[in-house]
Amino acid sequence: MNTIANHITSLSHKCLIYADDIFVFSSNKFLYLATESLNLALIELKFIFNHQFFSAAYEKCISVIFTRHRYHNHQTHPT
């Protein structure tokens, strides 16, 4: 798991690991840039998992947005 975390972190994503759980996160002033960054991290994780013969419990995967702003609609791109 540390190899995965080091690889993800080297791609400018942030990563925390606890036992066999991995937490990938991003911080950005703009929500759409943070979500695009995380999508790239997820694509990279899928690639790593496939090549290292890991599997993910996708039913346990969730995404959470923490922000000080109130969004009335769930658009990811600014209008």
Q: For 52-66, what is each residue's pLDDT tens digit?
A: 777 777 788 888 878
| Backbone torsions φ then ψ of 57, nearest 5 degrees | -90, 85
- pLDDT for 72 equals 58
CA distance 44 to 78: 26
- pLDDT for 45 equals 82
Per residue in 39-50, pLDDT (tens digit) is 888 888 888 888
pLDDT > 90: percent of the chain: 0
Residues sharing a CB contact under 8 Å with residue 5, sequence separation 6 or more, in sequence order: 15, 16, 17, 22
CA distance 31 to 29: 7
User: How does the average pLDDT of the chain come out, rounded?
Assistant: 76
